Chain A
Amino acid sequence: MLGNFQPHAGDYVRFLPEILLTAFGIVIMMLEAVSSEKNKLRLGVLSLIGIIAAFFANFWSYSESGPAFQNMIVVDGYGVFFRGLVLIVGFLCVLTSFSYLEREHAQSGEYYALILFSLVGQCVLATSSDLIMVFIGLEISSIATYVLAGFLRDDRRNNESALKYFLLGSFATAFLLYGIAWTYGLIGSTNLEEIRRVLDQGQRPTVLAGLAAGLMFVGFGFKVSIAPFQMWAPDVYQGAAAPVSAFMSTGPKAAAFAVFFRVFMTSFHAINGRWLWLVWGCALASMIIGNFAALVQSNVKRLLGYSSIAHAGYVLVALTAASQIGVAAAMFYLAAYAVMNIGAFAVVSHIAARNERHVKIDDLAGLGRREPATAALLAIFVFSLIGVPLTGGFFAKFYIFQAALNSHLVWLTVLGLVNSAIAAYYYLKIVVAIYMREPSPATEQLPAPSASFRVAIWASALGVLFLGIFPSAVLSFASASASALR
């Protein structure tokens, strides 16, 4: 079996989304060299087409689900769900970027190509079933994202953001790699199923396996920005361009969580007594640190950065539940979080004006009078982030805490819910600004919203409401595919 490395045709179908994204990315890079300044926007449109093509290829691959390339990747419902999710994230972020880059005079094919490459890495992460693929996917995704974070290279804040993200990201990757090496030394394989099989036999010292899991936990912890590995998140999200922050806080995070869950639920499930308490503590710490730090922020991007730490904490609650309902809840949560957070960041990027001068909460004042539609949609995103019923954010939270109570995590549930009530306080500052205050200079001279921006926020808002009012379809798919991790 080892002798035959010849891939099958089916392998290519399972890998088609990644192939398409790469091909479109390369084509865009080449066209970039020959297109004039005016035509750069077309490259963005081309990247959208690439994402849509990959999205359909993702559907096709689902009908051909199974392992590919000698078990290096596996296409299952779980992988397909997250591949689809990051593609939607990429699509919405590209749409948001159009007018933003126009305003900053930074319209460029490279930007769109980088987004596509980053998506390739996230797609690989979503479907990897081998630690080597996990590492490769993480690197492809991260390196492209490091560049994106510093894309406006004349902007000091962008530079700071990129450098911070890069240094801490590499640091995290080193931990992860060390954990992988340790696991390989202990088990003799990097395949997730194989690791599970060996650990289930119970002949390996669980202390060492626990240490390996701990090292990988640190690596993933950095990537998904959970406490105590969260310090970089607010700085990076504040410094990067708003559409990039939208992307970083949703796409790479969702993919990293996908593989986080897959590794811990599949491979290390046998020794979960050794790491669950750690997850319990990190979940609580993330919620508390994220929410309390956000209470005093005046910069909307920074506020959303801290809130993303808190939301990562809620997702960790689902991992603490260590059950199939927990996995399904996390899948649903990440989907809901993606649409509501992108929507919120998109509105911020609309308000920001050139050089992002207007990103304070005060700058949102009076938006309800100037642009009622944008304001109403922002209110929907914010209410969803709070977790108000009939929005995706509520149902996601509800489902996570249901999973937690099913696993008898009463204290974590109560503390998590109290946290979400405290969080209402800082999210409401945004609503207060847009509806209960007189217009600020920023909203007074707001340019008319561009068509692409409108499509992006309307699509996000519909996503939020769809997940909140008709969650059955996504929920059924998530529950059905969560079993892949057993």
Chain B
Amino acid sequence: MSLLWIVLLLPLAGFFFLLFAPRDSKSPFFITLLATIVTFLFSLELIAPAIGNGAQFSSVIDPVWIHSPGLTIHFHLGVDGINLWLVLLTTLLLPIAVWASELMIKDRPKNFFALLLLFEFGLIGVFTALDLFVFYVFWEVALIPMYLMVGGWARARRGPVAVKFFVYTMLGSVFMLAAIIYLYTQTGSFDFVDIMNAVGSGHVLLSPTQQLLLFLGFFAAFAVKVPIFPLHTWLPDTYTNAPAPATFLLAAVMSKMGAYGLLRYSITIAPTGAHRCASWIIPLAIIGIIYGALLALIQPNIKRLIGYSSISHLGFVVLGIFTFSQQGADGAVYQMIAHGISTGALFLLAGYLEVRRGSMEIADFGGMATPAPGLATAFMIALFASIGLPSLCNFIGEYLVLQGAALTHFSWAVWAAIGVILSAAYMLWMYQRTFFGRARESVASLPDLSGRDWASVVPLILLMVWLGSYTQSFMPPISSATAHLLEQTSMNNEYRVKLAAPKPVQVAEVTNAR
């Protein structure tokens, strides 16, 4: 049994196991925690083969799933430098979310834990899928538990918020489904590796118009998910009202689904379409960076503020991807991980604030540093990471993106840099109003982080420092995978004929599958 099978199916097994657990006891928590921790430990084993394999996919599984005359679909999954860290981010953050949920979710905890496991199953599937059909399946599978978590445990306006979240995403993803089916009618395969091989060897030639349509189909789904301005309107409502662990996961990992999809599928399958559309996507990304930052500046609610800052930070990822440069792509992947950890930590700490005060309005706080110095310190570190202070994680990602943008088109970098400045402004201002000053009566007796709370925060802080100060541990597989990916984006575009003898794209290593 391949390692990836274990990593994928453990959460699902935990889910089924949980269904039979008694409702009112601690056991659902322990089962979920155990399942997610074991999943994390197994996922660590994915690192070595992925690093050793360069740009090739490792830990591949590829059995036949659906077979009938005229339609064969393989359950093709694999790991390379781009999705490796995303999978690990998912498997690492899930136990933390479970740990925090035990404190933060008092109503029907068993149901919540079951949904968390289902969510993990869906996300690992999304990040590792190498077959477009399988990718779409997991894409929606990850959506359902998140929808139920947002709706079932939201603070206010449960139904409308969750439905908005779902219908927005669904409206985007049906276009992707149309594109996937269309691609199948053109290439006869759903398999990403096969499609890239067919394109690379010239068996399949997609015209610029076809590529444009395909690109727009995929883009609709991914742009909603990232979200790219002006499709972001679902985000503030969802982030603000969702229960803290769900917001944590939404911001930290689920927002990466869209960016990952853009990088992995949009620009490789339809590079001509991507190059053409970059001319308006990059302005949108830059508008998102600045617009998100400006709106964050005036938010009275901490969660909403972090939500808008998230739009701003993810604009960098999109910008990095559409520079089509090595630094830009590396920066985009690095920023995905960094943003996952720093924004995740901010939302987690916001959750702890919420548990203590019962509110997220900045006006309800003030002087929190006096009763809770530990919480204030942790928040400060996460905040500096998010702003992009050198030696913490976001700096690397944003710097690389800006460098990639500057090399391609200098003015892009200038505009995007405004976002960095603004992020310092809104974050520090929020911090000042929340934590500094004289402790108000209502917050004076609030408790500091307990040892139990620290346990969930410390790993994130360590990772912020590690990612920010020693990129060598993470960067090599990312670079080799993105280099390969950028090579693919130069195939199958209008200039394809000028290339001498395109190289065969990928030979998937199949470990005891089939």
Give A contacts to B, CB under 8 Å: 325, 368-369, 372, 383, 386, 388-390, 394, 398-399, 401-402, 405-406, 410, 413-414, 417-418, 420-422, 424-425, 428-429, 431-432, 435-437, 471-472, 475-476, 479-480
B407 within 8 A of A: no
A398 and B158 in contact, given A325-B70, A390-B141, A436-B151 (Cβ under 8 angstroms):
no
Q: How far does the alpha carbon of A471 sit from the alpha carbon of B158 in the complex, in Å?
A: 35
Is B417 interfacial (CB-CB < 8 Å)? no
Q: Known contacts A388-B144, A389-B141, A413-B181; is A479 also within 8 Å of B68 by CB? A: yes
On whether the beta carbons of B167 and A428 are closer than 8 Å, the reply is yes
- Does B163 interact with chain A (Cβ within 8 Å)? yes
A422 proximity list for chain B (CB < 8 A): 167, 171
Are B141 and A479 within 8 A (Cβ)? Answer: no
A424-B167, A472-B68, A475-B68 as given contacts; A432 in contact with B178, CB under 8 Å: no
A417 to B136, CA, bound (A): 14
Measured CB to CB, the closest approach of chain B to A113, in angstroms, equals 38
Q: Which residue of A lies closest to B171 (CB)?
A: A421
Report chain B residues within 8 Å CB of A389: 136-141
Residues in B123-166 with C-beta less than 8 Å from chain A: 136-141, 143-144, 148, 151-152, 154, 158-159, 162-163, 166
B389: interface (CB < 8 Å): no
The residue on B at minimum CB distance from A389 is B137
Task: Tell me how far the C-beta of B146 lies from the nearest C-beta in chain A, rounded to whole angstroms.
Answer: 13
Contact (Cβ within 8 A) B174 A417: yes
A435 touches B148 (CB 8 A): yes
User: Nearest B residue to A388 by beta-carbon distance?
Assistant: B140
Partner of B181, one of A368, A401, A418, A476: A401
A–B pairs, 29, beta carbons within 8 Å: A325-B70, A383-B144, A386-B170, A389-B138, A390-B137, A394-B137, A398-B177, A398-B181, A401-B181, A402-B181, A405-B178, A414-B178, A420-B174, A421-B174, A422-B171, A428-B166, A428-B167, A429-B159, A431-B148, A431-B151, A432-B159, A435-B152, A471-B68, A472-B68, A475-B66, A475-B71, A476-B68, A476-B69, A480-B69
**Majority-rule SS of B interface residues:** helix
B106 within 8 A of A: no
With a CB–CB cut-off of 8 A, which chain A residues contact B174?
417-418, 420-421
Q: Which residue of B lies closest to A325 (CB)?
A: B70
Beta-carbon nearest neighbor of A414 in chain B: B178
Residue of A nearest to B153 (CB): A436
B203 at the interface (CB under 8 A from A): no
Closest-CB distance, B204 to chain A (whole angstroms): 16
In the assembled complex, the Cα of A479 lies from the Cα of B152 at a distance in Å of 41
Closest chain A residue to B71 by CB distance?
A: A475
Q: Measured between alpha carbons, how far is A475 from B69 in the docked complex, in Å?
A: 8
In angstroms, Cα B118 to Cα A383, docked, is 15
**B141→A471 contact, CB < 8 A:** no
Q: Does B67 contact A (CB under 8 A)?
A: yes
Q: Does B185 contact A (CB under 8 A)?
A: yes
Q: Is B182 an interface residue (CB 8 A)?
A: yes
Which residue on chain B has the smallest CB distance to residue A433?
B159
Please state if B178 and A413 are interface contacts (CB–CB under 8 Å): yes
The 9 A-B pairs of least Cβ separation, nearest first, read: A432-B159, A389-B137, A417-B174, A475-B68, A436-B158, A476-B68, A421-B171, A436-B151, A421-B170
State in angstroms the CA–CA spacing of A390 and B152 once bound together. 22
What is the bound-complex CA distance between A383 and B141, given in angstroms? 11
- Count, chain B residues at interface, CB 8 A: 37
Is B42 in contact with chain A by the CB < 8 A criterion? no
Contact B181 A428 (CB under 8 A): no
- A432 cross-chain contacts in B, Cβ below 8 A: 151, 158-159, 162-163
Q: Which residue of A lies closest to B186 (CB)?
A: A405
Closest residue on chain B to residue A474 by CB atoms: B68
- 10 further A-B pairs in the complex, CB-CB below 8 A; given A414-B178, A418-B171, A420-B174: A368-B152, A388-B141, A389-B140, A401-B178, A405-B182, A406-B185, A436-B159, A436-B162, A472-B66, A476-B68
What is the minimal beta-carbon distance from A442 to any residue of chain B, in angstroms? 18
Q: Which of A401, A424, A428 contacts B177 (CB 8 A)?
A: A401
In the bound complex, CA of A425 to CA of B169 (Å) = 12
With a CB–CB cut-off of 8 A, which chain B residues contact A475? 66, 68, 71
Closest to A420 in B: B174
Chain A residues in 8 Å Cβ range of B137: 389-390, 394
The answer on a CB contact under 8 Å between A417 and B175 is yes
- Chain A residues whose CB sits within 8 angstroms of the CB of B184 once the complex forms: 402, 405
Instruction: Name, among B69, B136, B148, the residue most crowded by chain A CB atoms within 10 Å (CB to CB).
Output: B69
CA distance A472 to B70 in the complex (A): 11
- The answer to whether A479 touches B70, judged by C-beta atoms less than 8 angstroms apart, is yes
- Chain B residues within an 8 Å CB radius of A471: 66, 68
Residues facing A in B239-292 (CB within 8 A) are: none
Closest chain-A Cβ to B15's Cβ sits at a distance in Å of 12
Q: A399's closest neighbor in chain B, by CB?
A: B71
User: Which residue on B lies nearest to A369, using beta carbons?
Assistant: B108
Pick from B69, B70, B141, B170: contact of A424, CB under 8 Å? B170
**In the assembly, what is the distance between CA of A429 and CA of B160, in Å?**
9
List the A residue with the shortest CB-CB distance to B110.
Answer: A372
Neighbouring B residues of A399 by C-beta, 8 Å: 71
Most chain B CB within a 10 A radius of its CB, from A369, A406, A417, A422:
A417
**B212 nearest CB across to chain A (Å):** 14
CA A437 to CA B174, docked complex, whole Å: 28
Query: Are A417 and B141 in touch, CB under 8 angstroms?
Result: no
A431 to B185, CA, bound (A): 35
Q: How far is the CA of A107 from the CA of B47 in the complex (A)?
A: 65
User: What CA separation (Å) do A389 and B154 show in the bound complex?
Assistant: 25
Residues in A whose Cβ lies below 8 Å from that of B141: 388-390
Q: Which residues of A contact B68 (CB under 8 A)?
A: 471-472, 475-476, 479
Q: Which chain A residue has the least Cβ–Cβ distance from B217?
A: A414
A414 — which chain B residues lie within 8 A by C-beta? 175, 178
- When distances are taken between beta carbons in the complex, the residues of chain A under 8 Å from B175 are 414, 417
Q: How far is the CA of A416 from the CA of B152 in the complex (A)?
A: 30
A428 proximity list for chain B (CB < 8 A):
162-163, 166-167
Q: Which residues of B contact A388 (CB under 8 A)?
A: 140-141, 143-144
Compute how far the CA of A388 lies from the CA of B137 in the bound complex, rounded to whole angstroms. 8
Which of A372, A406, A432, A479 has the most B CB atoms < 10 Å from its CB?
A: A432
Chain B contacts for A402, CB-based, 8 A:
71, 181, 184-185
Residues of A within 8 A of B148 (CB): 431, 435
Kindly provide the distance from the CB of A456 to the nearest chain B CB, expressed in whole angstroms: 21
Q: How far is the CA of A431 from the CA of B162 in the complex (A)?
A: 10
The answer to whether B71 and A437 have CB atoms under 8 Å apart is no
The CA of A435 and the CA of B137, in the complex, are separated in Å by 23
Contact A417 B69 (CB under 8 A): no
Q: Which residue of A lies closest to B23 (CB)?
A: A372
Q: Which residues of B contact A372 (CB under 8 A)?
A: 111
Most buried by B among A422, A431, A436: A436
Contact A425 B167 (CB under 8 A): yes
Interchain CA distance A389-B125 in the complex, whole Å: 13
Residues of A within 8 A of B166 (CB): 424, 428
Question: Are A425 and B181 touching (Cβ within 8 A)?
Answer: no
- B 183-208 binary contact with A (CB < 8 Å = 1; else 0): 01100000000000000000000000
Q: Given A405-B181, A417-B175, A420-B174, do A436 and B66 touch, yes or no (CB 8 Å)?
A: no
Residues of chain A with a CB closer than 8 A to B162's CB = 428, 432, 436
Cα of A83 to Cα of B351 in the assembled complex, Å: 57
Question: Nearest Cβ distance between residue A237 and chain B, in whole angstroms?
Answer: 24
CB distance from A388 to the nearest CB of B (A): 5
Chain A residue numbers with a CB within 8 Å of B171 are 418, 421-422
Quick check: B163 and A425 within 8 Å, CB to CB?
A: yes
CA distance A432 to B136 in the complex (A): 24
Candidate in B152, B163, B173, B177 with the most chain A CB atoms within 10 angstroms: B177
Please indicate the chain A residues that have their CB under 8 angstroms from the CB of B136 in the complex.
389
CB neighbours (8 Å) of A472 from chain B are: 66-68
Expressed in whole angstroms, the minimum distance between the Cβ of A174 and any Cβ of chain B is 40
CA A435 to CA B171, docked complex, whole Å: 23
- Chain B: minimal CB distance from A427 (Å): 10
Give chain B nearest CB distance to A332 CB in angstroms: 10
**Distance, CA A425 to CA B163, complexed state (A):** 7
